[in-house]
Amino acid sequence: MAQSTSLTASAPYPKGSLTVKIFFYTALFYLLASMVLGLIVSLKAVNPDFLTGSRFFQEYFQYGRLRPVHVNTAAIGWMTTMFFGIVFYGVPVLCKTQLYSEKAGLFTAAYWNLNYIVGAGSILAGYQTGVEYGEMPLLFDIGVVICVALTFWNLFMTVVHRKERVLYVSLWYWIASIMFLAIVYIVGNIPAGWAGPGSAQMNYQYFYMHNIIGLWITPVGVGTLYYLLPKLTQRPIYSHKLSLIGFWTIAAFYVWNGPHHLVNGPIPFWLMKAGIIPSLLLLIPVWSVLANVIGTMKGVWYKVSQSVSLKFLMTGSLFYGLACIQGPFQALMGPHAILHFTYWTVGHAHMPLFAGFSLIQFSAFYYILPRIAYRHVYSRALMNWHYWLSVLGFVIFGFAMWTAGIIQGFEWMDGKQLGASFVEVMESLHIFLISRAVGGSMMFLGQIFFAWNVYKTVTAGQQVTADDEIFMKTS
């Protein structure tokens, strides 16, 4: 029998793969950085004197700087960078053509990373707008919009020059989500002086805060789910119509959800209802996605035990569904009055971002990496460690925050918002802050296993050979 030959020797990297690699590897860096920052923030909640031994630490490692850098690095650094890598890989594959402009892709990747690193550094140095999720100064916001516009143009032109006539639903989600990102980012980062004072500015801010998740991370994440599911199960998607129902209802309903953060606040009553009703209607796109997942998986659930990537994908889908049940529930006026401004929102915010779409991104990373590096994933055992530490760590983290938030909310409703009674409430929640730090430490350890596995895959993983023809065809 003839010896197998390496594909790397006979097949060049596909055009666009260098852009994908840059986005993937830098996203991994941002993931680790965001986890370190988040862990420091959680430890400071347990012990406020942590990292205050010198004036340097007191100035640059204070909560008011670390927390916004952590949030931005997670949502913009890790998640957005990773999703850019996914779409730069997936759009050409689904179009059966090459990326329209590799040079533009490389420029976008380089400019994006330079802009974000300097922008995050400016927040850490104390130069920030004070608008949550939009703390970066205007100069760097302009850089983000330029990169998003370049990405949209490059991928749209790839679709225009496609060889595959049928537009698979993932292309709908991906291209639309990039357009949504540009709109949401521009609106959400308008300087406060332009938006007007008080509640007017809050409406802009919460439009941005909610829709950076709802109109960017959600549609691009669902598009990734629809891309990976048939690949990992070797089955067609259950219903194309259901996927399109989900697409149009996300576009129609998510844009209105910002005001539900201001329920019981200083906004008109009709505007509160305008945030609550679309929040409830979001159950339509969520259940369309979950119905599609369940229908596609019918008869092949056993494959979850065979594929760690599929395990990540299914768990991420589950947490996405749970997050979108939690959201409409806490948008109602009664639950909102109890849960808002409590630790509950910390657990809720982490569920879609980490337990939902980050797990889907991990699945995509493990699926795409061998197809751009031409090496098999180094260790299945490390993949499993990554999975279990991430999931169990989040479960500890999430339940600690949800329980603390419920206690906090009811105690405040009882009148314990001020003075000694407030201090007593906070002291009683200390055990939950310790649990958050423990869960966060497990999540961080999981990402260490992830990063090591990626490094070993790229440097020492078994090369893909000509015998792996099926492996390459399913890309």
Q: How many residues does the chain have?
A: 475
**What is the average pLDDT across 12-29?**
82
Q: Which pLDDT score, from 0 to 100, does residue 155 have?
A: 96
Residue linked to tokens 């948008």: 331
Name the pLDDT band for 373 (thresholds 50, 70, 90).
very high
Name the pLDDT band for 12 (thresholds 50, 70, 90).
very low
Q: Which pLDDT score, from 0 to 100, does residue 51 have?
A: 86
The top-scoring range by mean pLDDT among 42-56, 160-174, 246-260 is: 160-174
Q: Does residue 164 have a pLDDT over 70? A: yes
Q: Which pLDDT score, from 0 to 100, does residue 191 have?
A: 64
Distance CA 76, CA 460 (A): 30
Structure token pair of residue 461: 């993983």
Q: Does residue 301 have a pLDDT over 70? A: yes
Nearest to 178 by CA among 208, 206, 205, 145: 145
Nearest to 143 by CA among 76, 208, 88: 76
Give, as one character, the DSSP assignment of residue 258. Answer: G
Q: Is 296 helix (H, G, I), strand (E, B) or coil?
A: helix
Q: Which pLDDT score, from 0 to 100, does residue 53 have?
A: 81
DSSP for 6-66, written as a single string = BHHHHSPPPTTHHHHHHHHHHHHHHHHHHHHHHHHHHHHHH-TTTT-SSHHHHHHSSHHHH
Nearest to 364 by CA among 413, 322, 308, 287: 308
**What is the average pLDDT across 149-159?**
96
* Contact assessment for residue 19 and residue 99, using Cβ atoms and an 8 Å cutoff: yes
Q: Is 429 helix (H, G, I), strand (E, B) or coil?
A: coil
Alpha-helix residue ranges (DSSP H) falling in 61-125: 63-72, 81-95, 102-124
Summarised one tens digit per residue, pLDDT across range 40-80 is 999 999 998 888 888 888 888 888 899 999 999 999 999 99
Comparison of pLDDT for 60 and 352, the residue scoring more: 352
Q: Which pLDDT score, from 0 to 100, does residue 269 have?
A: 84
Distance CA 447, CA 444 (A): 5
* Contact assessment for residue 103 and residue 179, using Cβ atoms and an 8 Å cutoff: no
H or E element that contains 350: helix 344-350
Amino acid of residue 475: S
Rounded alpha-carbon distances, angstroms, from residue 326 to 133, 268, 307, 347: 21, 24, 29, 11
